[in-house]
Each structure stands twice: as C-alpha cells, then as structure tokens.
Amino acid sequence: MNKPEARTRIQERNRAAILDAGLDVFSQFGFRGATLDQIAEAAGLSKPNLLYYFPSKESVYETLLQELLHTWLDPLRAMRPEGDAVGEILGYVRRKLEMSRDYPRESRLFANEILQGAPRIMPALTGELRDLVNDKAAVIRGWSAAGRIATIDPHHLIFSIWALTQHYADFDVQVQAVLGPGDPYPAATAYLEQLFRRLLTG
Amino acid sequence: MNKPEARTRIQERNRAAILDAGLDVFSQFGFRGATLDQIAEAAGLSKPNLLYYFPSKESVYETLLQELLHTWLDPLRAMRPEGDAVGEILGYVRRKLEMSRDYPRESRLFANEILQGAPRIMPALTGELRDLVNDKAAVIRGWSAAGRIATIDPHHLIFSIWALTQHYADFDVQVQAVLGPGDPYPAATAYLEQLFRRLLTG
DNA sequence: ACTTGATTTGACCATTCGGTCAAAGCAACG
DNA sequence: CGTTGCTTTGACCGAATGGTCAAATCAAGT
C-alpha cells in the first residue's frame, strides 16, 4: 500500500539506488554541499522521482545516518570481557580496519557529519555511543587491573583505534598521494597489529 | 595602490576578518557547503564588500589552503636526523598535537578538503608533501637500521601520527560527547607519549 | 481490452546562490 | 573648501537550489 510497509520490487530497487547515490554524494560533499539533482542523477532517476520515494533531502540523509550507526558500533559491541584481552582488542582493530577498507563511504559520511558539528547525530553520540564506550572502557580497565594488558587510559585507547583505522578511509586520497597507487591495507594491518600489541603488552 | 601590494590598515583588517570568517565557515561546511553570505556576515561585512577584497569564493578558499600548507608541514620539517631518534619523533607528536589544540579549524579545513577528494590541493599532496614524507621516512628508516628505534614501517608511522593527533581536532565534538566537557588534551598528550614510546622502544 | 494503482516526468515556483555595477559615502590632503 | 581615490552598499542578474503538482505512463490483474 504505502511506502514504509509492503515494498514492491521496484520500490526496493529505487530506494536502494537512492541511498547508494546519496552515500556517494553526501560522503563527499556533506549535507549542505550535496544537491538533490546530483543524487538523482547518480541514482539514475529524475529529481521529482527521487522525491517520490523520499520526502526531502534531509530524509535521505537521515536514513543513511541511521543505518550507519546501526552497523558502526557492532565491532565494538563484539568485544567480549571473557575473551583473551589482547586478542579481543586486536580483533576490534582488525574488524574496524576492514570496515574502513570495505565501507569507506560510510566512514567519510560519519566524518563529514562530525566535522559539521554533528548537528543531526549528537543525541546518538551522547547517548548510545557514550554508554557503549563507557561500558567497554570499564571492561578494558578491568583487564588492566587484572594485569592482562598494560595500564592505559581506556577511553583514549578507543579513540586511538578509531583514529588510526578510520584514517585509511577518510584520508585515503592523501595516503594514496604519498604512497602511490596500490593497496595500503596489507601494510596498514601489519603496522597496526604491531603498534597495539606493543602498546598493550608494554 | 592596488590590493596585493601596499595594503592600508583597513585592507589589512578586512582581509584578516574575511579569512578568519572563511576559516570558520569552510572548515565546518566545506567549499560547496559554505556560502558567501555566511562568510560575509561572520566577517561583519556586506557581500559586495567582501567581493571587493577577494574576487571570488574560490579565491578566499584557496588563500586559506595556501596559508595552511605553509605552516602545516613545519613540525615535520623540524624533525632532524642528528637528534635523538625517540625524542625527535615524540617531539613531532607533541608539536602536532599542540597544533590540533591551538588550530583546530585549520585541521578541519584540511580534513574537509581531503574528504572531498582534494580537488584543489592534490598537486601539493603528490609534490611537496610526498617529497617531504619520503625524505623523513628515509630518516626514520635510518634510525631503525642503526638500532636507535624499533623496526617499523616509516610511512605508516607518519600516518599514525597524523591520524592520532588530528583526530582530537577533527572529531572534537565526538570526543567531548563521550568524555563530557573538559579539556581532553592533558590526558591525550600523556597517552600518545606512552603509545609512541612503547612502539619505538619495543 | 479495461481498469486500477503504482510510477515517472515536464513544467513550474520561491528562495538562495555567486557575482556585477553604478552610485554613494568617506578619509586624507592640498 | 574641493578634489581624489579608497571603501561601502542597494539594487540587480542569471543560474542553481529544494520542492510541488497535475498530467502522463506503466505494470498487473481481470
């Protein structure tokens, strides 16, 4: 009947095309710098047709942000207190780096939103994100106290994991400009494992 | 006489106000997302008056980018092969982190330009930047070979310094959302020194 | 073939965009 | 005072922007 429920194949396809095109454009130019015409063309639709599936530019953007947050925190959530401490943290680093490699547009979309002051995602940052980080920080602090890893600031450890892994997605063109063409991820993976292993077992 | 040479006090003041306002706006919204009216209002001028001092939106942006690159690479340039290896690298980390703290808008402007694919700064990336990084990478490799620091990938070491230090400027609102209000830099400074010291003396 | 509802589009609208221009304001100096 | 040149602005322009709407097209079932 209506769009939210009971989607036809054509709705499924067009909504997906719009979100994919929106991800392309928003992640590059941010919300304000992106235009509906640009997104519509990238999706292979006319602008009014795009607005048949989404009521506004804002709604496309917010749908993307919402889908993003859902999957963005999964790797952190997967860190289990019962596991091997160093292995759990290194696993998180590896999964996060794989996300940078496989979903760089999502990473850039998030970076753009944060650079603009997080106007539409701030509630999630001070809510869901903050709670999860504090939860995992406590886990890490427990590992430190138990002597399973070195004593370190758990919040800044998490920040450093974000910074290092997302850098390869967000600053990709800079990395490529310096290193030349080629896949930087094998070397990055090895480097980050070395870095965190030394940090945690210092 | 004309603008480039022999500036009056009023020209000096207004050009500075425009560049400062442009830094505010461009660093938040990127080139496409920023508007001249926004910049003019932030600078306390009318739009035509702004365009009396700069011929176009593009010229304001490019002036900012040019000034940025000039100072952005100085801390890396200051790394001297003759000095103490660990001390030189830690000094670079500290200077870079201080730049994030004292000039966060410049960091965000750069991040925005890179996210957009570096359309206006690419030549500098594959030229000046690439050369300097390769030069310093050779220095670091020499330190490793001489046994003065651990064996690490010098390029990714430099990337990791950029990622970790700029994160505190670019993702400031996220850091504050997680940590709550307060200055994160004292703890960040201590954490990064610990991290790199362990990495380099591993 | 006919009907019904989903889909698509061309034309259009108000607003905002970057930028121009002629005229007005203003400071300094003779 | 009057002149000269720097500075500021209101009015304006064409293009692009987000969004609307009625009409046309299409797909599917009968």
Per run of 10 residues, the mean pLDDT along chain B (length 202 residues) is 56 96 98 98 98 98 94 95 97 98 98 98 97 98 97 98 98 98 98 98 84
* Nearest CB to B153 within list A126, A175, A187: A187
For residue A6, name the pLDDT band (cuts at 50, 70, 90): low
List b or e across B132-146, with b for residues whose CB sees 16 or more CB atoms inside 10 angstroms.
bbeebbebbbebbee
Q: Are residues B164 and B146 in the same domain?
A: yes
Please compute the mean of the pLDDT values over residues A179-194 and round it to a whole number.
98
Q: Measure A111 CA to nearest chain B CA, in Å.
A: 8
The lowest-confidence range among A1-15, A169-183, A185-199, B58-72 is A1-15
Domain holding B10, by residue range, is: 1-55
Provide the 3-class DSSP secondary structure of residue A1: coil
Residue A155 to residue B178, Cβ atoms within 8 A: yes
Q: Are residues B99 and B156 in the same domain?
A: yes
Q: Are residues B146 and B73 in the same domain?
A: yes
Q: Are residues A92 and A121 in the same domain?
A: yes
In the stretch 61-100 of chain A, residues with CB closer than 8 A to chain B read none
Spell out residues with C-beta < 7 A from strand C: A 1, 3, 8, 10-11, 14, 45-49, 52; B 34-38, 47-48, 51, 55-58
Q: Are residues B156 and B92 in the same domain?
A: yes
Q: Are residues A35 and A65 in the same domain?
A: no
Smallest CA-to-CA distance from B91 within B196, B198, B202 is with: B196
Q: Are residues B28 and B69 in the same domain?
A: no
Q: Which two tokens stand for residue A78?
A: 């997967």
Other CB atoms within 10 A of residue A182 CB: 9
Q: Are residues A185 and A164 in the same domain?
A: yes
Is the pLDDT at A184 greater than 90? The verdict is yes
Q: Are residues B31 and B110 in the same domain?
A: no
For residue A41, name the pLDDT band (cuts at 50, 70, 90): very high
Residue that is last in its domain, among A11, A28, A55: A55
pTM metric for this prediction = 0.95
CATH (domain of A81): 1.10.357.10
- Percentage of chain A beyond pLDDT 90 is 93
Residue A29 to residue B30, Cβ atoms within 8 A: yes
Q: Is A36 on the interface with B (CB under 8 A)?
A: no
The ipTM value here is: 0.94
Q: Are residues A30 and A111 in the same domain?
A: no
The separation, in Å, between residue B20 CA and nucleotide C23 C1' comes to 30
